[in-house]
Structure formats: structure tokens, C-alpha cells
């Protein structure tokens, strides 16, 4: 197993020189990153096509475009974010002023997944750069063309003592985790998230864990069914369901279940046609191992739509499964593929009980025109984030920090949130020397009574 202590040492020495702390340095780095992406847009699309068969539309919408938007937002607001913030003082601190100074952690380690191999590597990197950190980036070995291209582009744009891409397998991640970095940002599965947190605990390294889980989608009887069907089909089957916030399963009200399922099937055909397997634009499953895991779910319940698959192309049709219960295999773990199990309900309270009895999901989606129903669900179910009358789209807002809760993750990023996760807030009290408050000292007469009076 390779030792990366030399790289961490090199980056820490560079960080300690202080260059990354200046706003101008960070802005120049973000501008260089943007230029690099724009110049190599075509190559990035080709790599994503080779790795996952992503269309140019999906590659730009979900990978390149969202990253460029994040860079622009960060550059627009960075000068404000880095400034010390004055805070209020209490009466007991009369004569003093309180400030919060944002400061970078130092050397950050970013471990990225394969499902959005460009976006989920570079989006956290934007936060690390904006906050003034150095960064070691470990992309996924399951998307080798994108990872290799990312490594080349970063090495051409930045010195390795500042930002460096380290390619390799899970053993490489393990080796990097043995080094004492100052912050770890991981996106991936819950089981690997546990390993990351255990490794971080050995050095008491702070972490952000962007994990996953089974994200429910609820379609109430008063929903706009046709629009709900189209938005759910889009959110679920985009990237062949390999999206951490994709609707993992549906709760559909029994009164509208049959009508809704027909509309959902129509929406799938509208978006992907009747021959998705042969489409040059339909994303494939990332590996044979994941393909094999997914096709075992096709035996569960009853197939309402889809179900066909092509091993040679590692492709699975957009699929709807009905007559599903919590005992089926498809309901045991996050699906992470183009298979959507459907369960029906009559009472919203039963949904609340079923969801809250399980690990807190990363996302939740509610389709209902009733504010009472919406609020009932929001008030009683804990989850990372989500949408009302839409799916996935909450990720596109830089004003909505994205992250999980409980088993679905720790910490949140995007927009200001990306700057915040890579920033330590240093609290400073500036005290006056023009006078001194005597009752703070035990030698003052009736000091205890005076302190009690002031602290009430």
C-alpha cells in the first residue's frame, strides 16, 4: 500500500506559507478552474459518454453546467463570505466587541463517487478552494476515463502542493485515510461512510459525509397526477436511477393508484421511448457487479412496466414494480438503479409511521395540493432535504444547503454551504483597555451577588 505522507506534508508546507489565505489567490484559482472546464467541455462529455453512456444533455445539465454555476456563485459572493462578522455582545461584556473570523482548515481530502464522477468531485473542490484550503482529490476507479481526464486537467491547472488528484482503487482511499489531513469530505454509500468516519476518528479529523438511503416519494390523491408522473419519471430514471436523491420508492394513494401508474408509464415512454435499451442516450449501469445486484430486484412483486435488461450493454429498462411490501429484497437497501417499487396507502399517518421507523432518508418528495398534508409530513418526518410537487430539483439552488441527517449523512454543502463546510469559524472577543469591570474578580466586595444580577 502506497504511503502518501509526502503529499500531505508537501501540501501542508504550502498551506503554511499563507498564499491560499488571500482572497485574490482563491479567486484566481476559481477562475483557472472555470477556464479549464470551459476549454475541455467536449473532452469531459466524451469521457462521461465512455464511462456511463451519458448523453451530452445529461452531461451538461447534471455535471458540467451545475459546476460552472457553482463557481460563478462562489466568485460572486466570496469577498463577503471571507470577511470577519461582528456579533452582538452581552451586558456582562460591556466595552468588548465579538467577531467571527472564517479560516481554512488546511489540507482537505475529497473522496468522490462514480455516479456523477465530475460534478461530485469538483463541487466540493470549489468549496475547498473558496475557503482557502489545499486539496487532495480521490476520484472513483469505476469511471476511469473521467477520473484520468480530471487528473490531467487539475495537474495542468494547479501545482500538486496546492491541488492534486490521486487515482486508484479502494486501497488508495484507505492509504489516504491513514494520513492526518485537516478535513475529509466523502460522498458515497452508508457502509463506506462508516469506514470513513472510523478512520477520521483516529485523528479526530472533522468530516462531511454525503451518503444516501431509501428516499420516499408520496403521491397523494389530490396531486396533479400528470405533472407528478412526469417529474417523478425524470427524477427517478435520470442517470439510470444512479442518483443519491432519486425517488427510491413510491407511496401512492389507493384511490388514484391505477390512474397514476398509467400516467407514469406514459411519462417514461415520453422521456425514454419504448426501446430505452437500444437508445444511444440512455445511461448504463456503472459495472457488472451493480448490474447483477439490480436484476435480482426484478423478481420482486409484479412488473407493471419495463423489466428488460441487456447484460452486454449493462442497461436496465426504466422499470415499475407493484404489489411490493417491506419484506421484498428491493426494499431492504437503497436501489441506486432504474427500478421503482410502488406501495399504496390510505392514510398519511401510516406513511409517517413506516418512514420514521427506518433510517432517516436523504430526500423526501411530496406531491399534494393540500398545505395541510404537506405540513403534516414535513412536521413529522426527518430527512435531509427534498421537494414539494417536484423531485431532485432542490439540488439546483445554491441557497439550499444539501446534505443528509442521521444515516443519510453529516453536514451540508452547495453555495455558501460549500464554503462553510471547509471553514473553521474562529471566535474572537476584542476587549477594551480603557476600563476594567471589577466584579469579575473574586476579591471584589459582593462580587457573587453582582455577577448573579448581571447574568440574569
Query: Which secondary structure element, helix H or strand E, spans residue 209, and what is its range?
Result: strand 207-210
- Which grid coordinates are listed for 380? 413529522
Angle value at C-alpha 120, between 114 and 123, nearest 5 degrees: 165
- Reduced to 3 states (helix: H, G, I; strand: E, B; else coil), residue 322 is strand
Residue in the structure block whose three cell numbers are 476520484: 139
Are β-strands 363-367 and 249-253 bridged in parallel, bridged antiparallel, or unpaired? unpaired
Residues belonging to the chain: 456
Give the separation between CA 259 and CA 251, rounded to whole angstroms.
14
Inter-residue contact 355 to 363 (CB < 8 Å): no
Q: How far is CA 208 from CA 105, 341, 411, in A?
A: 13, 30, 5
Active site residues: 210, 244
List C-alpha distances in Å: 145 to 149, 211, 299, 404: 6, 24, 33, 29
d(CA 14, CA 132): 12
Q: Residue 239 in 3-state DSSP?
A: helix
Report the distance separating Cα 74 and Cα 61, nearest Å.
19
**How many whole angstroms separate alpha carbon 14 and alpha carbon 161?**
6
Measure the CA–CA gap between 243 and 19, rounded to whole angstroms. Answer: 37
CA end-to-end span of the chain: 59
Amino acid at each position: 500500500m502506497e504511503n502518501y505522507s509526502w503529499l500531505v506534508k508537501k501540501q501542508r508546507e504550502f498551506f503554511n506559507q499563507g498564499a491560499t489565505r488571500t482572497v485574490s489567490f482563491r479567486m484566481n484559482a476559481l477562475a483557472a478552474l472555470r477556464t479549464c472546464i470551459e476549454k475541455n467541455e467536449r473532452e469531459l462529455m466524451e469521457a462521461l459518454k465512455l464511462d456511463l453512456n451519458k448523453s451530452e444533455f445529461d452531461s451538461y445539465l447534471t455535471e458540467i453546467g451545475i459546476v460552472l454555476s457553482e463557481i460563478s456563485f462562489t466568485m460572486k459572493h466570496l469577498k463577503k463570505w471571507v470577511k470577519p462578522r461582528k456579533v452582538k455582545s452581552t451586558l456582562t461584556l460591556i466595552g468588548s466587541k465579538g467577531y467571527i473570523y472564517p479560516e481554512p482548515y488546511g489540507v482537505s481530502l475529497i473522496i468522490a463517487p462514480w455516479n456523477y464522477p465530475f460534478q461530485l468531485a469538483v463541487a466540493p473542490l470549489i468549496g475547498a478552494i473558496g475557503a482557502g484550503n489545499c486539496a487532495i482529490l480521490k476520484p472513483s476507479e469505476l469511471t476511469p476515463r473521467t477520473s484520468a481526464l480530471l487528473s490531467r486537467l487539475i495537474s495542468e491547472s494547479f501545482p500538486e502542493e496546492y491541488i492534486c488528484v490521486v487515482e486508484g482503487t479502494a486501497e488508495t482511499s484507505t492509504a489516504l485515510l491513514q494520513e492526518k489531513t485537516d478535513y475529509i469530505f466523502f460522498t458515497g454509500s452508508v457502509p463506506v461512510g462508516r469506514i470513513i468516519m472510523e478512520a477520521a476518528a483516529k485523528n479526530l479529523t472533522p468530516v462531511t459525509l454525503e451518503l444516501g438511503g431509501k428516499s420516499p416519494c408520496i403521491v397523494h390523491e389530490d396531486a396533479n397526477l400528470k405533472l407528478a408522473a412526469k417529474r417523478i419519471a425524470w427524477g427517478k430514471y435520470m442517470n439510470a436511477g444512479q442518483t443519491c436523491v432519486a425517488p427510491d420508492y413510491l407511496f401512492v394513494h389507493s384511490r388514484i393508484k391505477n390512474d397514476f401508474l398509467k400516467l407514469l408509464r406514459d411519462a417514461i415512454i415520453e422521456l425514454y421511448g419504448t426501446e430505452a435499451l437500444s437508445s444511444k442516450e440512455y445511461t448504463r449501469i456503472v459495472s457488472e457487479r451493480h448490474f447483477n445486484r439490480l436484476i435480482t430486484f426484478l423478481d420482486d412483486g409484479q412488473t407493471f412496466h419495463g423489466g428488460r435488461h441487456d447484460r452486454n450493454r449493462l442497461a436496465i429498462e426504466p422499470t415499475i414494480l407493484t404489489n411490493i411490501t417491506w419484506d421484498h429484497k428491493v426494499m431492504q437497501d437503497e436501489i441506486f438503479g432504474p427500478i421503482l417499487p410502488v406501495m399504496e396507502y390510505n392514510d398519511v399517518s401510516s406513511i409517517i409511521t413506516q418512514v420514521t421507523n427506518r433510517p432517516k432518508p436523504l430526500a423526501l418528495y411530496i406531491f399534494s395540493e393540500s398545505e395541510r398534508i404537506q405540513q403534516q409530513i414535513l412536521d413529522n418526518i426527518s430527512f435531509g432535504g427534498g421537494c414539494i410537487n417536484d423531485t431532485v430539483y432542490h439540488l439546483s439552488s445554491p441557497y439550499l444547503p444539501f446534505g443528509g441527517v442521521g444515516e443519510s449523512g453529516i453536514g451540508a454543502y452547495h453555495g455558501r454551504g460549500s464554503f462553510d463546510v471547509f471553514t473553521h469559524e474562529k471566535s474572537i472577543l476584542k476587549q477594551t483597555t480603557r476600563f476594567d469591570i471589577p466584579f469579575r474578580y473574586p476579591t471584589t466586595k459582593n462580587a457573587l451577588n453582582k455577577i448573579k444580577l448581571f447574568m440574569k
